[in-house]
Structure 1
Amino acid sequence: MVILDNSIVFTGLPQIRSDMGFSETGLSWITNAYVLVFGGLLLLGARAGDLFGHRRVFLFSLVVFSLASFLVGAAPSQWCLIGARALQGVGAAVLAPSALSLLTRSFTEGRARNRAMAAYGAVAGLGAAFGLVVGGLVADLISWRAGFFLNVPVGIAMVVLAVRFLPETERQDGRFDIAGALLATAGSTAVVFGIVNAADLGWTAPATLMPLMAGAGLLGAFVAVERRAVQPIVPLRLFASRERSGAYLTRMLYMGAMIGFFFFTAQYVQSVYHWTPSQAGLAFLPMTLVNFVLAVQVPRLLERVSRPKVLLTGVCLTTAGMVWLSRLDLHTPYLTGVALPMVLIGAGQGLALAPMTSSGVDGVAPADAGAGSGLVNTVHQIGSALSLSILTAAAATVSTDDEAADIAARSGAALTGSAVLLALAVLAVGILIVPSRATRNERSL
Structure 2
Amino acid sequence: MTPSATFPSTSIPNEQRWTPRLWGVLAILCLVMFLDGLDVSMVGVALPSIGAELGLSTASLQWIVNGYVLGFGGLLLLGGRTADLLGRRRVFLIALAVFGVASLVGGLVDDGGLLIATRFVKGAAAAFTAPTAMSILTTTFPEGHARNKALSIFAVFGASGYSSGLILGGLLTSAGWRWNFLMPVPLAAIALVGGYLLIHRDRPAATGGYDLAGAATLTSGMLLAVYTVVSAPERGWTHPLTLGAFVLAAVLLAVFVRVEQRVAHPLVRLGILRIGSIVRANLGIVAMFGSYLSFQFMLTIYFQSVLGWSPLRMAFALLPAGLMVAFGSPAMGRVIDRFGTQRPIVVAMAAFSLGYVLFLRAGGDADYVTDILPSVLLIGVGFTLAFSSIMSQATSGVDDSEQGLASGLVQTSGQVGAAVVLAVTTALVTAGSHSGEAAGSMQFDQFRPGLVLVTGLAVAGVLVMLVPMLRQRPRRGPGQLPGPDEDERLDEPVSV
- Look up the match of 1:380: 414
Distance 1:320 1:149 in 2: 39
Change (3 A) 1:389 1:103: same
3-state SS, counterpart of residue 232 of structure 1: coil
Quick check: 1:84 aligned with 2:126?
A: no
Change (3 A) 1:410 1:81: farther
Distance 1:20 1:329 in 2: 35
Distance 1:46 1:116 in 2: 19
Distance 1:326 1:179 in 2: 48
- Look up the match of 1:206: 240
| 1:19 shift after superposition | 4.2
| Aligned equivalent of 1:318, options 344, 352, 355 | 352
Quick check: 1:422 aligned with 2:458?
A: yes
- Look up the match of 1:165: 198
- Spell out, residue by residue over 1:118-139, the C-alpha distance to the aligned partner (whole angstroms, 9 max, x if none): 1122222222222212212211
| Aligned equivalent of 1:145, options 156, 174, 178 | 178
3-state SS, counterpart of residue 339 of structure 2: coil
Quick check: 1:189 aligned with 2:196?
A: no
3-state SS, counterpart of residue 268 of structure 2: coil
| 1:357 shift after superposition | 0.5
Distance 1:180 1:15 in 2: 41
- Spell out, residue by residue over 1:305-325, the C-alpha distance to the aligned partner (whole angstroms, 9 max, x if none): 232111111111112112323
Relative to structure 2, which stretch is displaced further, 359-368 or 142-151? Answer: 142-151
What amino acid is the match of 1:171? P
What amino acid is the match of 1:63? A
- Which structure has the larger Rg? 2
- Look up the match of 1:178: 212
How many residue pairs are counted as aligned between the two chains? Answer: 443
- Look up the match of 2:40: 6
- Look up the match of 1:345: 379
- Look up the match of 2:290: 256
- Look up the match of 1:47: 81
Distance 1:404 1:329 in 2: 14
- Spell out, residue by residue over 1:353-408, the C-alpha distance to the aligned partner (whole angstroms, 9 max, x if none): 11100110001112112111111221121112222222222222121644223275
What amino acid is the match of 2:455? A
- Provide structure 1 residue ranges, at least 5 long, that are not aligned to the other structure: none
* Percent identical residues: 33
Superposition RMSD in Å = 2.5
- Look up the match of 2:364: 330
- Look up the match of 2:299: 265
Distance 1:177 1:102 in 2: 23
Moved over 6 A (4+): none
Quick check: 1:431 aligned with 2:467?
A: yes
Change (3 A) 1:314 1:149: same
Change (3 A) 1:232 1:292: same
Structure with greater helix share of residues: 1
Distance 1:113 1:204 in 2: 46
- Look up the match of 1:247: 281
For the 8 Å contact 2:67–2:117, the answer to whether it is kept is yes
Distance 1:112 1:242 in 2: 23
| Aligned equivalent of 2:99, options 28, 42, 65 | 65
3-state SS, counterpart of residue 267 of structure 2: coil
Change (3 A) 1:299 1:34: same
- Provide structure 2 residue ranges, at least 5 long, that are not aligned to the other structure: 1-34, 474-484
Distance 1:252 1:431 in 2: 17
**TM norm structure 1:** 0.91
What amino acid is the match of 1:73? G
Change (3 A) 1:443 1:45: closer
Relative to structure 2, which stretch is displaced further, 408-417 or 314-323? Answer: 408-417
For the 8 Å contact 2:287–2:460, the answer to whether it is kept is yes
Relative to structure 2, which stretch is displaced further, 181-190 or 280-289? Answer: 181-190
| 1:46 shift after superposition | 1.6
- Look up the match of 1:223: 257
| 1:179 shift after superposition | 3.0
- Look up the match of 2:403: 369
Change (3 A) 1:439 1:272: closer
For the 8 Å contact 1:330–1:404, the answer to whether it is kept is no
For the 8 Å contact 1:295–1:350, the answer to whether it is kept is yes
3-state SS, counterpart of residue 312 of structure 1: helix
